[in-house]
Amino acid sequence: MHTQPITLRPRDAAIYLGIGLSTIWKRAKYDPAFPKPHKLGGRVTVFLRADLDGYVTRCANAGS
Does residue 42 sit within a domain? yes
State the pLDDT at residue 2. 74
Q: Which domain holds residue 43?
A: 7-63
Does residue 2 sit within a domain? no
Does residue 1 sit within a domain? no
Bigger pLDDT: 4 or 21?
A: 21
27 neighbors 37 (Cβ within 8 angstroms):
no
User: pTM of the entire structure?
Assistant: 0.88
Q: What is the pLDDT of residues 39-60, one digit of tens each?
A: 998 999 999 999 999 999 999 8
Distance CA 49, CA 27 (A): 15
State the pLDDT at residue 62. 85
Domains of the chain: total: 1
How many Å from the N-terminal Cα to the C-terminal Cα in the chain? 38
